Structure 1
Amino acid sequence: MIAELVAEIGPLWHERHQAVLTSRPRRRAVGAGVKYKLVFVDRLLATLVHLRHAATHDVLACWFGVDRSTITRVIGEVRPLLAERGCTVAPDIRLCTLAEVIDHLGASGQTGIIDGTEVRVRRPAVGRKDREKFISGKNKQNAVKSMVVTDAEGRLLFCSPAEPASCADITHARKLGLVKLLADGPAVEILADAGYQGLGAQTGGRVVTPPHRKFKKNSPEWYVEMRERQRKAHSSRRIRVEHAIGHLENWRSLARREHMSDTIQAVPGALSRQQASGTRT
């Protein structure tokens, strides 16, 4: 896996690095001056260790024998490249956008599963604009939210950029354009929980959610039993997305609010590559 990442991301990093060097006025030729101590393989390893274990920049600096600022710069350069890779479904199939995911599900005839995951983060500083937007209405904690999409087997297909947790799941899905993609795209079945109730009517029944509760009080016994069976059957079909989210949250770097959109998209890229190759995290 490391060799493949080096072969894929290394040229992109070098191209961007050279573009930065040539984009500013210079008194010396490009390539002159002090050379970097870290080769690209070490840069990639430092970034992956930071993402997986949330190792501090100080620890990584001691490990690789460089200054802390070097590690900070390295992670800031490599993490966006990992985030742009998308999720690997097969060696020749990689999905980077939600539109590509819907097209893939339609072409393969698979069922998709969506769910919103909230990642608790540190509280924004006092006086910061929109500080209250990070408070989750569900858990009453400071968090960010992302929408995760998997197939029926639980393989990661997409993870959206981070959104403040005050945004409802259904609102987040609409912002991402899910309704339009399903209404105008291929016939795809998408399983979702009760937080997405209402999308089914907007997508011609393509988003399937648990049945509404028709009786608020004094429900007939037969109705309670039927609804419970339907709810359990639906839950058993969509449980795979919960397993995928559990694997995501094992990556400890997700506890940090800074650069969360890049982090929360870089982690699924690495996880999906491991799922496709059959290796373990």
Structure 2
Amino acid sequence: MLEELAPKWEAARESALHERRGGNRRRAAGAGPKQRLVFTDRLLATLVHLRLGLPHAALAELYGVDRSTVSGTIREVRSLLAARGFAIPDRPGMRLRTLEDLFAYADAEGVELRIDGTEVQVRRPRAGRPGRKAFVYGKKKQNTIKTTTFSDGQGRTLFSGAVRPGRMHDQTAVRTEGIAEQFRWHPTVRAEVDEGYRGLANEFPAQVSAPPRKPKDDAPLGEHHA
């Protein structure tokens, strides 16, 4: 991963510096302030954050840098990881980079998908930022971002969709991310979803399976037991 991503990160960094300077570099490579974090540390910090959810401030203490340095690092490396795509279980060398790739793979291999929205707590957006309240997830009373995640029947992650504010409902994400269109284009693909994607199950009853609705409070006792 280091051998693959390091040249891309260095190229992106040189491009940003070139744009900031407004021209070619005036000093030899390596001159000027030294990087507080080498790329190996940047990659490790990003992977630890994504895997364990360790806060940026905690990683900053571990590496002895400012929190803003860690935040910028994760933002840069995360985009490189996303462009790299998602590895397919038992298919070495193959990767899923788009939602279209995912549904084409599920269609060809007969994989039944599991769809759910995952939440990650984030810092509260600064005051005055447009749409600040959109990040407040009412159920948990926290500032979060949500991502639509797809996995196979064994729970292995195949793809993670666009990041959206925590308040956005799962069904809204279905429309904005183009998930419903993929089911129309791939009528043989099957999926299981939770209650948040009830609208998707209603629209594609032959393809999408959702848990049964909870009975009303005044329903017969037998329906509650069922």
TM-score for both structures, normalised by structure 1: 0.65
Distance in 2, Cα, partners of 1:161 & 1:127: 24
Deviation string, structure 1 residues 51-101 (Cα, Å, up to 9, x no partner): 443333243136xxxx87765654443232123222211321211222211
Give 2:122's aligned amino acid: V
Matches within 5 A, 1:72-151: 74-89=73-88, 90-151=91-152
Counterpart of 2:189 in structure 1: which amino acid? Answer: V
State the Cα deviation string for residues 192-246 of structure 1 (Å, max 9, x = none): 012211213423521111234677733373x555xx3xxxxxxxxxxxxxxxxxx
- Whole-Å Cα distance in 1 between the matches of residues 72 and 179 of structure 2? 35
Structure 1 counterpart SS, 2:108? helix
Q: Cα–Cα, structure 1 residues 103 and 60, in superposed 2: closer, same or farther, change >3 Å?
A: same
In the other structure, the counterpart of 1:6 is 2
Query: Which structure 1 residue ranges, 5 or more long, are not aligned?
Result: 229-281
RMSD: 3.0
Distance in 2 (alpha carbons) for counterparts of 1:25 and 1:57: 32
Q: Of 45, 57, 61, which residue of structure 1 is paired with 2:60?
A: 57
Q: CA shift at 1:43, angstroms?
A: 3.5
Given that 1:61 and 1:68 are in contact with CA atoms closer than 8 Å, whether structure 2 keeps it comes out as no
Q: Is contact 2:18-2:25 (8 Å) kept? A: no
Higher helix share: 1
User: For each residue in 1:107-144, what CA deviation from the matched residue of structure 2 results, as whole angstroms up to 9, or x when unmatched?
Assistant: 11010000112333333344432222122243343322
Counterpart Cα distance in 1 of 2:150 and 2:108:
16
Post-superposition offset of 1:184: 1.3
Aligned to 1:195: 196
Partner of 1:33: 31
Work out the CA distance in 2 between the residues paired with 1:49 and 1:183: 38
More strand, by proportion:
2
Q: Aligned-pair distance for 1:46? A: 3.9
Work out the CA distance in 2 between the residues paired with 1:196 and 1:48: 29
Q: Which amino acid aligns with 1:10?
A: A
> How far is the alpha carbon of 1:176 from its aligned partner?
0.8
Using the alignment, how far apart are the partners of 2:60 and 2:6 within structure 1? Answer: 22
Counterparts of residues 167-186 of structure 1 (less than 5 Å): 167-186=168-187
Identity %: 37
TM-score (norm 2): 0.79
